[in-house]
Amino acid sequence: MSAAAPASPLGGDDAARRTLRAGLIQGIFAYGFWGVVPIYFRTLSTASPVEVLFHRVLGSLVLLLLLMRLTARWSAALDALRRKRTLAVLVLSSLLIAANWTGYIYAVSSGQTLQGSLGYYINPLFNVVLGVLILGERLRRAQIVSVLLAGVGVVYLTLTLQQAPWLALGLAASFSLYGLVRKLTPVDALTGLTVETLMLSPIAAGGVAYGLITGWGAFLHASRWLDAMLLLAGPVTALPLLAFVGAARRLPLTLLGILQYLSPTGQFLVAVLLFGEPFTLPHAICFGCIWAALALFAWDMQRSAARTTSPTRQSPGETLISE
């Protein structure tokens, strides 16, 4: 694409602007939805987190199978299932995402949404640490300061409350490890998620059946309202994920990285303003350190991206379209 049409901050020509506008809408919807989704999970607090996970898996599977059919990607899924190494890695990633989902559901249902928010604020910095330890990546000075500043916040909160925020750290660790495993797996996002969900679905189906037979689960044993909410677990999981995939295809990674903070920010506001969870001075100092770390991290990423653009100073839209 010619670099002579950067009239709009959204890109060069009309097609580029439309692409970025669509991606921006999808990204805001996905991350904004994830920011307020604790409200939905709070309505399921009478069901166990494991039961909610089972319904989340089964509901997502229906939509994912439909998408696989519409996009004709069954050959890629079958190929992944035939390769033992890829299959083994996807088993690991399915366990990691199941652990992350269960932990987050538990955080909300047990009145610890604030810890969930903290976990997803910390997650990008965990990614940086894993990149250094596992992939041998090198950190720039600003990134080192960001990680140390976030660490100071978590340590201060731990020492002050005399209890580590294990739930937040577990959420950040499980999702970061999931991202690392998927990064090293040679399958696309939709195929990988479908295979992971297929692997979890026998356990989920067995769990739902066991609950129906024995009365262990809340589904069909509590109220019609709860039954309807549990049946919505699939769409609630899949719809923002689809929007995210669309945004990831249309937006520069730097812009997508900034949008991702809408999610924990929304969760933070829901936890404090709507759920009334305690937000003490130690929490304020910890979150303040992490917010400062993320601001420094985002600034450094933006500066690095600007340095790697061509001398013609392509806009983000032009960079995306040219790829």
User: Any idea where the domains of the chain sit in the sequence?
Assistant: 14-322
Please report the pLDDT score of residue 219 as a whole number: 87
- Res. 237: pLDDT tops 80: yes
Mean pLDDT of 236-254: 80
Which helix (H) or strand (E) covers residue 78, if one does? Answer: helix 74-82
Grade residue 298 by pLDDT with cuts at 50, 70 and 90.
confident
Distance CA 106, CA 48 (A): 8
Grade residue 4 by pLDDT with cuts at 50, 70 and 90.
very low
- Res. 151: pLDDT tops 70: yes
Please report the pLDDT score of residue 309 as a whole number: 56
Please report the pLDDT score of residue 322 as a whole number: 30
Mean pLDDT of 131-147: 85
Mean pLDDT of 216-220: 85
Distance CA 26, CA 243 (A): 5
Residues 6+ apart with CB under 8 A from 37: 236, 240
Please report the pLDDT score of residue 253 as a whole number: 67
Please report the pLDDT score of residue 96 as a whole number: 93
- Res. 192: pLDDT tops 50: yes
For 76-124, the pLDDT digits (tens) are: 888 888 888 888 999 999 999 999 999 999 999 999 999 999 999 988 8
- What mean pLDDT value characterizes the chain? 84
Grade residue 36 by pLDDT with cuts at 50, 70 and 90.
very high
Grade residue 138 by pLDDT with cuts at 50, 70 and 90.
confident
SS3 at position 196: helix
For 164-183, the pLDDT digits (tens) are: 899 999 999 998 898 888 88
E-only strand ranges, 76-223: none
Please report the pLDDT score of residue 7 as a whole number: 45
- Res. 264: pLDDT tops 90: yes
% of the chain exceeding 90 in pLDDT: 39
Contact indicator for 238, 7 with CB cutoff of 8 Å: no
Please report the pLDDT score of residue 315 as a whole number: 38
- Res. 210: pLDDT tops 90: yes
Grade residue 9 by pLDDT with cuts at 50, 70 and 90.
very low
Q: Which long-range contacts (CB under 8 A, 24 or more apart) does 282-289 make?
A: 282/156, 282/157, 282/160, 282/161, 283/114, 283/157, 285/153, 285/156, 285/157, 286/118, 286/153, 286/154, 286/156, 286/157, 287/118, 287/121, 287/153, 288/153, 289/149, 289/150, 289/152, 289/153, 289/156
Residue 8's DSSP bridge partners are 11
User: 24 burial class (0-12, 13-18, 19+ CB within 10 angstroms)?
Assistant: middle
